[in-house]
Amino acid sequence: MNAKPKYLISIVGPTAIGKTPLAIKVAKHFHTEIISADSRQFFAEMSIGTAKPNEQELDEVQHHFIGNVSINQLYSAGDFERDALLKLDELFLQNNIVAMTGGSGLYTKAVLEGFDELPKADEKLRLELQQLFDEKGIAPLQEMLKKLNPEKASTIDLKNTQRVMRAIEISTHQKKSTPKEKVVRKFIPIKIGLDLKREELYNRINYRVDKMIETGLVDEVRSLIKYKTLNALQTLGYTELFDYFDGKHSLEKAIELIKQHTRNFAKRQLTWFRNEKEMNWFSPNDENKVISFIEAQISKHTE
């Protein structure tokens, strides 16, 4: 007798769009649990600025990979792929359906399709790139990345010199290496993408940032000042406030920058997810439509 198919419902979209409430409704409907694929929510010490699910939301449905590592640890997409697949094996023993949600495209892709190991730093290439930057600034590096990997160039912060250089290294390595064989997973993915009109999404982002400030983001970041050079803290909502504490700008300016940078980040997230194959797009308000669509997909595979 053949085993019943397993399904991983992946709910993705830009920050603040409403992935968590929808994922909870989906998980409750199918009596299952949630894998969190938000790379910022992995860190135990960062809560307000990463918009972790609140206590009520965590009580409604069991979440995994929320606050599971410390900011002192390096936790890569490869690490998450390994740990998430082990957890999925465990969860699929209880239920044939599991939900996964998050806005970190690289991490969801690692679970769904497999993760290409990143090459080690190419010191010779890095020196050449650094020399080019020292002589001509970041513009030629940006153009180089756009030619090498247009998709990557559309999703990263092109003003971040180190990220642009690393992206060039990785893209150069990928062009020279043999393509990785397609990974076959033990589950059938059902991809749900969430989108809204830009004005509505930006209003949600601005509102969320205001609520973060109201609920203590400034104090949370202040408590982490001595760790500000750690990789985990080089992220939205934290770097802007570290600059405020360093006297580089006012609190009002820091809040304005958090909103602006978060809107920019949301745009890059959408670009990434729109390039994903087999994505099915909905409004976050289409809860019943999403559930009906998932049920139809499951029925199609079990007929």
- Per-residue pLDDT of 10-34, as tens digits, reads 999 999 999 999 999 999 999 999 9
- Residue 268: which pLDDT band, with cuts at 50, 70 and 90? very high
Extract the tokens encoding 277.
């194959």
Q: What is the mean pLDDT of residues 2-16?
A: 93
Q: What is the mean pLDDT of residues 249-259?
A: 98
pLDDT, the chain, mean: 91
pLDDT over 90, % of the chain: 71
- Residue 176: which pLDDT band, with cuts at 50, 70 and 90? low
pLDDT at site 303: 63
pLDDT at site 175: 64
Residue 40 or 176, more confident: 40
Q: What is the mean pLDDT of residues 154-169?
A: 77
pLDDT at site 138: 86
By DSSP bridging, strand 7-12 and strand 97-102 are parallel
- Residue 1: which pLDDT band, with cuts at 50, 70 and 90? very low
CATH topology of domain 7-116+181-302: Rossmann fold (3.40.50)
For 186-218, the pLDDT digits (tens) are: 999 999 999 999 999 999 999 999 999 999 999
Residue 124 or 234, more confident: 234
- Tell me how far CA of residue 59 lies from CA of 63, 65, 208, in angstroms: 9, 15, 21
- All structural domains of the chain with their residue ranges: 7-116+181-302, 123-176
Q: Which residues contact 79 (CB under 8 A, 6 or more apart)?
A: none
DSSP-derived secondary structure for 146-209? HHH-HHHHTTS-TT-HHHHHHHHHHHHHHHHSPPPPPPPPSSEEEEEEE---HHHHHHHHHHHH
Residue 156 or 233, more confident: 233
DSSP state of 227: G
Q: What is the mean pLDDT of residues 252-273?
A: 96
Task: Give the type of residue at 115.
Answer: F
- Consecutive H or E run containing 97: strand 97-102
Extract the tokens encoding 264.
């920019």
